[in-house]
A and B are shown apart, each in its own frame.
Chain A
Amino acid sequence: MKTKILIIEDNDQNLYLVTFLLENSGFEVVQAKDGPTGVEYASKIKPDLILLDIQLPGMDGYTVAKEIRANPELKNINIVAVTSYAMMGDREQAFAAGCAGYIEKPINPETFISQITKFLPEAKGGVR
C-alpha cells in the first residue's frame, strides 16, 4: 500500500508542482484546496502525512492544524507546514498550532522528498 500524503494548498501551480514531485517519488497524493476540505479529508482518509500551506482562503493553516490536532484519531499523523510565510514568528506559530515540520517555499526539488520523508511513520519509509 502506497504512502498517502494529503496536500492542503490553494495555489494550483504549487499544488501541481508538489503533487508531481511526490507522485514521481511513488507517493499517493490527496489534494485539498482549502482549509475545511483539508480538515475533512484528513479525518476521512487518514493520510500518512499532511503538507499544509498556511495562507489559505476561508480558514488559515494554523486553524487547520489546530483542528486536525484536536481530533485524537489523527494524533499519529504529522503535519508539515509548507509555506512562503517567512515573517517573524511564522515558524513558531506553526509549531504551536501542531505542525511537526516547517518547509519554506520555494521548495527545492532536489531536497524536498528527503525533507518530508523524515516526518513519515517508520514503517512507511520512502520509496527510494
Chain B
Amino acid sequence: MRQKQLRYISVVLILAAVYFFSARFGLSYAVVQKQTTIIWPPTGIMLAALLFLGYKYWPGVFLGAFLANYFTDPSLFVSLGIATGNTAEALAGVYIFRKVSGRLNLLERQKDITAIVTAVLICPLISACNGVAVLGISGSIQWKDYFSVWLAWYIGDALSGGLIAPFLLSWGKKRIAKESADYKKIVEMVVFIFLLVFIAARIFSSQHGLPYLIFPFLIWAAFRFNQRGATASILIVAAIAIYNSTLGQGPFAGISINEGLMSLGVYFGIVSVTIMFLSAAINERNVSETRLHQVMDIVPHMIFARNKKGEFLFANKALANFYGMEVNDIISKKQRDIHSNKIEAEKIFSEDLMVIQSGKASFTPDTKFTDSTGRLRILQTTKIPFIDYISEETAIIGVAVDITDKVSAEKALEESEKRFRTLFNNNPNGIILTDPDTLTIVDCNDSACIMNGYSREELIGQSINILHPEKIKTPLETTDVSKTDLEKIKSKGVLTIESEHRRKDGTVFPIETSMCMIMIGSRNLVLGIDSDITERKKAEEEIRRSEEKFRNLYENAPIGIFQSSVDGHFLGINKTLSDMVGYSAPDSMIASMPDIKNQLYIYPNERIAILEAIAKTDKFVRTEIQFKAVDGRKIITNLYARAVKDEEGKILYLEGFVEDISERKASEAELSQYRENLEALVEIRTEELLIAKERAEESDRLKSIFLASMSHELRTPLNSIIGFTGIMLKGLAGELNIEQKKQLGFVKNSATHLLALINDILDISKIESGQLEISSVTFNARDSVEKVIHVLQPIADSKNILLESFIAPEVNHITSDARRFEQILINIINNAIKFTMEGFVRVETINRDGYLLITVTDTGIGIEEKNIQKLFNPFQQLDTGTTRKFEGTGLGLSICKRLLEKMGGQIKVESEFGKGSKFSFTLPINPRNVI
C-alpha cells in the first residue's frame, strides 16, 4: 500500500517534471504571449501519459502545468487557471479517445486514428478558451489579441496532440503485426532515414521548397516501416520544419514566425492525419493478414490453393503436417512431387483440373489418401475455383478435413451400438425399459416381444400393466403393483419378484423379473429383466411332489429310518422307529435320547464297532443289534448303517434303516427246531429209501438171473427133445414107420414152437426191462438180405410161393446191429410166406434219404382195417378164432417194431383184406448222420 502510494507520488512528480521541462522548452518559442506558444509538447506527452497510466495521474499534469506557468509569470491566478484548463484538456482527451476507439490506448486501426484526431481537435478548445479567458481576465492580453492568442493556443495544442501523442502511443505498446528485422530492412531503414532527413532539410530550409515532396517518403515509411516508422518520420520532418521556421526559413516562413508556424501547424496536421490513417489502414491489413495466417495455422483442417500445374500457391500448417514438411517448403512445389502415393497424386491432380475446367466446386466426402508416414487417412475435400490475382489464371482453393478418426469413431460407435443391440435383442431374457413416472414401456428387446406375444411397436408406449393379468381383470383397482415395486427398487437397488405375465393371446405364464433403476442419458428408467419360469415352476412342482413322495415313503416306511450324529444323538427319525422303541412321536424320542449308545443299545460297544465298520466303506453295513425299548423289552433288529462323508472322507453323520426282526427271530428259532426234527426224519427216510433201492436193484438183478436161468433151464430140456427128435426123424437111430414119423413130427413142431415162444418172451422181457443192447457195427446190408432170402427160400419153395428179391445197386454198407436186422428181416419175410397161400412174396431193398428201405409185399390173406392197429401189440396173432392155422408166437411183429424203434427206424403196414399186405421198414444207414 505504502509502496503503491510511493510509486503513485513518484510517477506524479515525474509527470510534473516532464510537463515542466517540455513546457519550458515550448515556452521558449512563445511568440504571441508569454504563456502562449505554437510549440507545446506537454499536451501530446500528457495525453499519451494519461492514456497509458490512467485518469488518476492527473495531479502530475496539473502540478506540471501550474509550475511551468508560475515560473513564467508568477501570478497564482493565471497559473492555477491555466493548469486547471490544461488538466481538463488532458482528461477530456483520454475520455474522448477511449469513447471513440473503444480501447484503452492502442493506436492501430483507422478507428483509433479517428479517435485521436477527434480528441486532439476537440480538447484544445477547452484549454485554448480557458487560457485566453484567464489571460484576458488577468489582463495579461488585450482583447484585440484575443483571437490570435486563442488560435495559436489551439493549433499548438492540437499539433502537439496530433504529432507527439501518436508517436508515443505507437512506440509505447507492443505491436501485433511483427516484421522480421533482417539486414535488408536495416539497410533500407538507414537509407530511408538519410534520404528523409536530407529531403526534409532541403525542403524546409528553402523559401522555394516544395512541401508536398515529403509525401512519397512518409508513404514509404507508412508502407515499409509501419506506424512507428510513420509517426517517427512525421515527428522528424515536423521537427526539421519547425526548426527551420523558427529561423525564418522554408516555405512557411511568413510575415512573422508565429504566422509561419501556424501555417506549418496546419500543414503538419493534414500530413499527420493523412499518413496516420494510411499507416493504420496498412497496419489493419497486416494485422488481419497475420491473424488470418495464425488462424489458418491453428485450423486443424488442411487449407490450400493450387494452380493448374498442380503447384501449391498456398498451404497451411495442417497440410504441411500431412506431408511432414514446413509450409514454406511446400509453396510452389507440385503436389505430385510431394505426395508419396503417385496414383493418389494423379487423382488429386485430375480433380483439380476438373474444378478449374468446369468452374464448379467439387466435394469428395471420403477419399483415402496416404500421408507422409504411410498411414491411410480419410479426407473430406472441398475445392472451389478462383482466379489467382498474380497469374490471373484459374486455380483452386480447397479445404480438406481429416475425418479418419471421426469415421473410425463413428464406425466404432456403430459397431458398439450394433453389438449392444444384438446383446440386447438376443438376450434370452426379456428386457423391458419402463418410464418410472408414467409406467409406459420405453424399449424392449426381441425376447420380451416373443415371450409376451406382442410386436415391439405394440409394446412401446403402452403401460407396463398390459402385461400384468391382475390389472386387466380389475382395471378400476387403484392400488398399483408397479408403483409399490418402484418404491422397493429405490430402497433396495435391485428387486427380484415372481409374478405372472399375460400374453397378447390371453394366456398367462409365470415370470421372474429383476428390476433396477438405470440412467440413460438424463432419463431415469426401470430396467426389467424377465425370465419365463414356466419350466422352472414345473420342475419345482415336480420336486415338491417328489419330496412329498419321499416324505411319505420316509414316514410310512415299515422300517425305521434314522440320521444320527457320530457322537450319538439323533438328527432325525421316522415314526416307525419311534413306535418300534416305544415313543409316542419321533420328536420326543430325539429329545429324550441324547446318548444313543447307552440309552438304546443293550451292548453299547456295538455302536463303536458299527462306527468303525462304516468308516471304511460308503456302503450300508448290516449288523444285528439288540435295542432296549422304553418298556425294557428287548428288540432284535437288523441295523443297516452308512456313513455320510464330506469330500475329504470325514464322517458328517450316519444314516440307515432299522428293521425289527424280533418276531422273525422267534419264528426262526421255532423253525430251526422244526428243521432239526425234519432232518432226523429225512435221515430215517433216506435210509429206508436206500434199503428200498437196494432191494429194487437186487430184485432187478434177481429178475435178470431168473430170466437167464429160465432161458437156460427151459432150453436144456428142449435141447434134448428137439435134438433127439431130429436124430430120430433123420433115421439116424433106425428107420421109423410113417405113423411114427408123423407123430414124431408133431413133437418136433411143438418143441420148435415152444423154443420160439421162449426166445420171443426173452426178447420182449429184455426190451421191456431196458436190457436190450443194440450194437452199432458196419456191415453189408446186401449180404444180410441175400442170406435171409437164402435161408427162407426152402420154406417158400415148399409152399410153392415165388420169393423174389430186388436189391438196388446202391445198397451197400450200413451201420447198425446186423443180427437184429436179420432177425427183423426173417420175421417179416417169414410172416409174409406164412400168410400167403399162393402167389408171391417180393422183397425190395433200396436206399432212400439216408435210410435203408425194405418193402415186403405179399399176396396173402391181408389184414382187416380194424386189426391193423393191434398188429404190433404183443400176443396179438390175428384171426385168433382159428389158432394154430398159422404157427407163431404172436410176438414177432411186436418185437420187430420195438427193435426198429431202438435202432432208429420205423415200420408200417398197408393191407387190403383178402388181397395181400405190404410191410415196409426203414433203418438209418449211418445213425450218427441221421440223429
Binding site for B on A (CB under 8 A): 11, 13-14, 17-18, 20-21, 24, 55, 84-89, 104-110
B window 149-164: CB within 8 A of A: none
- Looking at B45-53, B131-139, B707-715, the stretch in contact with chain A turns out to be B707-715
What are the residues of chain B within 8 A of A108 when measuring CB–CB?
A: 722, 726
Residues of the B chain whose Cβ atoms lie less than 8 Å from the Cβ of A14 = 716, 719-720, 723
Contacts of A107 in B (CB 8 A): 719, 722-723
Closest 9 CB pairs of A and B: A109-B726, A106-B719, A84-B715, A17-B723, A87-B708, A106-B722, A105-B719, A13-B720, A106-B718
Given that A24-B732, A109-B730 are contacting pairs, would A17 and B712 also be in contact in the complex, using a CB cutoff of 8 Å?
A: no
- B: interface residue count bin: 20 to 34
**A-B contact count, CB below 8 Å?**
74
Chain A residues closer than 8 Å to B751, beta-carbon distance? 106
Cβ–Cβ < 8 Å partners of B718 in chain A: 105-106
Given contacts A20-B732, A24-B732, A109-B726, contact A84 B711 (CB under 8 A): yes
Given contacts A109-B723, A110-B730, contact A88 B766 (CB under 8 A): yes
- Chain B residues contacting A18 (CB-CB under 8 Å) are 723
B711, A106: Cβ atoms closer than 8 Å = no
Chain B residue contacts of A85, Cβ below 8 A: 708, 711-712
With both beta carbons as reference points, the residue of chain B lying nearest to A21 in the complex is identified as B727
Q: Which positions 719-736 of chain B face chain A at CB distance < 8 Å? A: 719-724, 726-727, 730, 732-733
Q: Cα distance A17–B727 when bound, in Å?
A: 8
Which residue in A20, A24, A88, A109 is a CB contact (below 8 Å) of B771?
Answer: A88
CB distance from A63 to the nearest CB of B (A): 18
When chains A and B are docked, how far (Å) is the Cα of A103 from the Cα of B646? 94
A105–B732 touching, CB < 8 Å: no
B902 CB → nearest A CB, Å:
13
Complex CA distance for A13 and B724, rounded to whole angstroms: 9
Decide yes or no: A11 and B716 within 8 Å by CB, A106-B721, A106-B722 being known contacts.
yes
Q: How far is the CB of A83 from chain B (nearest CB, A)?
A: 8
The answer, yes or no, to whether B826 is at the interface (CB within 8 Å) is: no
CB-CB under 8 A from B715, the residues of chain A are 84, 86, 104-106
A20→B716 contact, CB < 8 A: no
- Kindly state the separation between the CA atoms of A87 and B715 in the bound complex, as whole angstroms: 12
Does B755 reach chain A (CB closer than 8 Å)?
yes
B343 interface contact, C-beta 8 A: no
- 26 of the cross-chain contacts (CB-CB < 8 Å) are A13-B720, A14-B716, A17-B720, A17-B724, A18-B723, A21-B723, A24-B727, A84-B711, A85-B712, A86-B711, A86-B759, A87-B704, A87-B708, A87-B762, A88-B771, A88-B772, A89-B773, A105-B715, A106-B722, A106-B751, A108-B722, A108-B726, A109-B722, A109-B723, A109-B730, A110-B726
Determine whether the beta carbon of B726 is less than 8 Å from that of A20: no
Q: Which residue of B lies closest to A111 (CB)?
A: B726
**A-chain residues with CB within 8 Å of residue B723 when the two chains form the complex:** 14, 17-18, 21, 106-107, 109
Closest to A11 in B: B716
Given A106-B718, A106-B719, A107-B723, are A86 and B730 neighbors across the interface (CB < 8 Å)? no
How far apart sit A17 and B723, CA to CA, in the bound complex (Å)? 7
Known: A17-B720, A17-B723, A106-B720. 20 other contacts (CB 8 A): A13-B719, A14-B720, A20-B727, A21-B732, A86-B715, A86-B762, A87-B766, A88-B771, A88-B773, A105-B718, A106-B715, A106-B718, A106-B721, A106-B723, A106-B751, A109-B723, A109-B727, A109-B730, A109-B732, A110-B730
